Amino acid sequence: MIRVNLTIVIEEEEREKFRNWLEQHIEVTDFRTLPDTTKLYDTNTTFRELCKGVKKAQRLRDDYIHLHN
């Protein structure tokens, strides 16, 4: 068994319908609605630096997992 993380864009009114369909066909362990942070990223240097830090930390974590798993 593998775990897959997927980010998609759908219309807001289709969210629950899609979630229900998905849960009928596969085991869903997490389902989140992500906020649109485009404007914040474009206009706020602190947020942009936080995003870069998160991305770096995720890459380091993933490299560690692949090395030790």
Residues spanned by the domain of 43: 12-68
pTM: 0.72
Q: How far apart are CA 23 and CA 57, in angstroms?
A: 30
Site of tokens 């993933």:
62
Q: Are the beta carbons of 22 and 32 closer than 8 angstroms?
A: no
pLDDT interval class at 44 (50, 70, 90): very high
User: How many CA atoms does the CB half-sphere of 25 hold within 13 Å?
Assistant: 6
Give the residue ranges of DSSP H helices in the chain: 15-25, 38-43, 45-68
Is residue 51 assigned to a domain? yes
Is residue 2 assigned to a domain? no
Is residue 59 assigned to a domain? yes
Which pLDDT score is estimated for 48? 98
Which pLDDT score is estimated for 54? 98
Q: What is the pLDDT of residues 16-43, one digit of tens each?
A: 999 999 999 999 999 999 999 999 999 9
